[in-house]
Structure 1
């Protein structure tokens, strides 16, 4: 197994940089440092930890262009979307700076004791295993609440965004966090198992594939450690007969095509009521055709290449297997290396790969249903449970279906998206646990009962 890892620009094909992986000796030193620092970091007042978020936000703002360009170079995200990602991280810092103190304050409970309350204590060192598709956001939405709660963090980022991983570590140190509070591990998958099994690591957060989640959950379970898993999805976008296409078509297209379709919460299955199907397909296709493809460093580019050529191979295989089962190419389906043309597939039914599986790229599967009842039945026909989006003008009826859908999110007339103010996570094969909001900062704390009888 190689002791090096390299990053490459997926648009140009050029090599960016090669890095040495950390040796077992280096990993041991990093684990010990994280463990040692956690003993003092956890004692800092919450207000003091929260204040550092101002500095994190300022560094993000001051380096917005540099960080955005790095993201775009390493994984091909259109530059305008990279900038939006950094801006969202700034919003995240602001949210927890304002709210962490109240979230983590002792909660007084009236009992027979003279005094009793719940204390929210940090667990210690938390391991994060993060994906490449949102190289800053995925890490920051874990790190900001986790560090602010008084934990230390170890990051195993995807190898194709190693530059982003290292610059995030540098960012926290520049902001004034103690050295060792946040560390980036350059390790292989075998080393991850050893790290998670180490007694100094108290819990793990993973955002990634279902396969990776099952593996991490197995290791965490064997070692009796808490895990938060945000895994794959094949979110439904339901277009009912009364949907306002003029108002929401751009949102529907963006729900599938943003980040070149590489999002766990993207709309993967478009479930369209028959009465509006032809109009939807015509307008959706026209809008998809108008998207500007090209160099991801161009401000006008809407979509570019996938992050790696092998990801296009996987997507191509899913489409081909679906076509053999009767699906039809309505538009697109051209690919070259890491480029995959935005594609619309019709005649999609259950038991086809593009209905049953997660498709990580710009392929929209269109399913025609006869009525609203069949639409909701089709939504529920999935192993995944990240989110559902419903487009309709009958808000009362849509809201009545909220409890029927098992997903972690239910959005009406909007694409499923994460927001620091709201909990984010899934059910079923999409994982468990929550990130963001008050729920997220509570994932890696010990909710300790304190009972005083004096």
Structure 2
């Protein structure tokens, strides 16, 4: 039985029964049959459905947002913004999908070849709790536009969100089998990947989950996209607007209570501006308003669960054991639920094990570096390579960071964020493949050469 527990109160707000083996089989069979019909649907039918789903998300914005707040603790303001981003994602593919799937003619020595994008089949998505709607839309919208169908295995924490998504898609008129929610435990995923009716799998989650899914997909010789962890650097150079960088840094570390793969986690600051940045950043982190996530003006609610909060607290103890110094915060708040205070760690040994971990909570590591070479070296000295943010007005420095930081994304003088139009994904142990834009649309498609 899945339990939805409000992390702001610790109270169980709902229970959800997992599907039986017969129910799982019925849904997979429905996806298989639904794909047989949907694969030949006209682009106009696909874009119309995406538009209706986007409209339905907008019409149900309050219900969706409130469910996310209750199940995983994000603030109401951020939950509303997440739903609005979902609407933009549906509308992006509805507007641009047909053009992105247009044929390309190639002239060869023997004649003409048409490169054509065709669907592949049912795609299984294993999605996390931290952005319970946007993560799903990033796979669902391009899957529908491609002519594929989707099966969602959502996190155990957010089964209410998953059921609500399925209801809204059905109400928007999606044909049978085009999108379905699978309320199943993680140990059922391997069997689904092995099922011949499922052609591909996409996962957003931890390294451990990614390795298991990739192993199962490899055994079945199936395409897989993985968006895993990150320990994103936030680099500040002497030419930067330090006041602005410090202000953005607070949001970049505490948004979603620090529970985002692309949250800035390691703040790498040039020695010339280190002390100024640290003072401003510390003031901002200590000023973060922690309160009921449903209340206006709250900056940060609880973490997603007591277990997640306790994991972050234990990571701080590990850092201190290696010689790091906690300037302030990082404490569990003595009240029901999964509350803690934001904190800042300094003097973290760069060569230690802790410096190479991902902290999935509102704790920042601040490092001092003497020059750009050291900044780039430290930024890359982790097993991850998802995102990065660099702050400099020097064009040459911007180009070096863009070229040399080992990451799938780099934001210049801005906080990193995902948008429907741009590719999203990482390198190294942050995964492989891309979501969003034309790249996400094409990941699970057959690029077929038609030679005449």
TM-score, normalised by the number of residues in structure 2: 0.97
Select 2:178's aligned residue among 158, 178, 181.
Answer: 181
Q: Is the 8 Å Cα contact of residues 271 and 367 (structure 1) preserved in structure 2?
A: yes
3-state SS of paired residue (1:43) = coil
TM-superposed CA distance for 1:409, in Å, is: 0.5
SS at match of 2:429: helix
Structure 1 residue 113: Cα displacement: 5.1
> For 1:125, which of 114, 122, 125 is the aligned residue?
122
2:197 alignment partner in structure 1 = 200
Q: What CA distance in whole angstroms lies between the structure 1 residues aligned with 2:353 and 2:294?
A: 33
Q: Which residue of 2 aligns with 1:403?
A: 403
* Whole-Å separation in 1 of the counterparts to 2:405 and 2:118: 34
The correspondence of residues 129-144 of structure 1 with structure 2, limited to 5 A, is: 129-144=126-141
Of 73, 82, 85, which residue of structure 2 is paired with 1:85? Answer: 82
Contact 1:67–1:164 at 8 Å: present in 2 too?
yes
Counterpart Cα distance in 2 of 1:401 and 1:189: 38
Contact 2:143 2:149 in 1 (8 A): yes
TM-fit CA distance, 1:19: 1.2
Question: Could you list the per-position Cα deviations for residues 315-364 of structure 1 after superposition, in whole angstroms to 9, with x for gaps in the alignment?
Answer: 11111011011101111121135112100111112244542111000000
Which sections of structure 2, spanning at least 5 residues, go unmatched?
A: none
1:340 and 2:337 correspond: no
Kindly provide the CA deviation profile for residues 28-62 of structure 1, in whole angstroms up to 9, marking residues without a partner as x. 11111100110110110112201212211111111
Secondary structure of the residue aligned to 2:199 is strand
Range 45-54 or range 279-288, more displaced: 45-54
- 2:375 pairs with 1:375: yes
| Equivalent-residue separation in structure 2 for 1:176 and 1:159 (angstroms) | 27
Alpha-carbon distance in structure 1 between the residues aligned to 2:162 and 2:417: 23
- Is the CA contact (8 Å cut-off) linking 1:234 and 1:357 kept in structure 2? yes
The aligned counterpart of 2:6 is 9
**2:422 is equivalent to residue 422 of structure 1:** yes
Could you say what the CA RMSD is over the residues aligned between the two structures, in angstroms?
1.2
| In structure 2, C-alpha distance between the alignment counterparts of 1:221 and 1:368, rounded to whole Å | 42
**Residue 268 (structure 2) pairs with residue 290 (structure 1):** no
Which moves more between the two structures, 114-123 or 95-104?
114-123
Match of 1:216 in 2: 213
Query: Unaligned regions of 5+ residues in structure 1, if any?
Result: none
- 2:243–2:280 Cα contact (<8 Å) kept: no
Specify which of 257, 260, 265 is matched with residue 257 of structure 2: 260
Deviating more after overlay: 152-161 vs 43-52: 43-52
- Larger deviation, residues 65-74 vs 241-250: 241-250
| Contact 1:113–1:451 (Cα < 8 Å) also in 2 | no
TM-fit CA distance, 1:114: 5.1
